[in-house]
Amino acid sequence: FRASFSSACEDENVSYTPDALKQLGQEDLQNLALNLLLALQSIRISRLLPSRGSGKNLLSDLSRLNSAVNFDDFNLDRIEPLLKSALVVDHADDTIIWYQVYNAVFEHNPTPHPRPIASYLQQTTSLHST
């Protein structure tokens, strides 16, 4: 991700700072976002952290966000804090990055899907019958 950012900065003749994100074009930002989201999906912790929505885990949320970014179905300004944190945070404090991941996922899917009533009733029935 950082190598892609460096390359985009060189191509656009802008300084390699997080503020350069505002000077990059939409296509560059989209490519950076996709690179970062794919990198985050490949990290094991994304499969261990809980979903912010109705998915199995954070990986499923990241996959949906990745698809939205890829298909231009997401405002890239909303993911800018995540991009910035990935550029400035050192490896010792990656909790800031994961916090921004959850924020970006929430921006994409602000309301979790409600569980179907049938699922709720099945659980209630099994609780009372045991």
pLDDT at 91: 63
Task: Parse the chain into domains and list their residue ranges.
Answer: 2-128
Listing DSSP states for 59-106 in one string gives HHHHHHHHHHHHTT-S-GGGGHHHHHHHHH--GGGTHHHHHHHHHHHH
C-alpha R_g of the chain: 18
pLDDT tens for the 130 residues of the chain, in order: 999 999 999 999 999 999 999 999 999 999 999 999 999 999 999 999 999 888 899 999 999 999 999 998 888 888 999 999 999 877 657 889 999 999 999 877 654 444 443 443 344 334 443 4
| pTM of the model as a whole | 0.79
Q: Which helix H or strand E contains 49, and what residues bound it?
A: none
Q: What pLDDT does 121 receive? A: 35
Helices 26-41 and 2-12, axial angle in degrees (round to 10): 170
Cβ atoms within 10 Å of 5's Cβ, excluding its own: 23
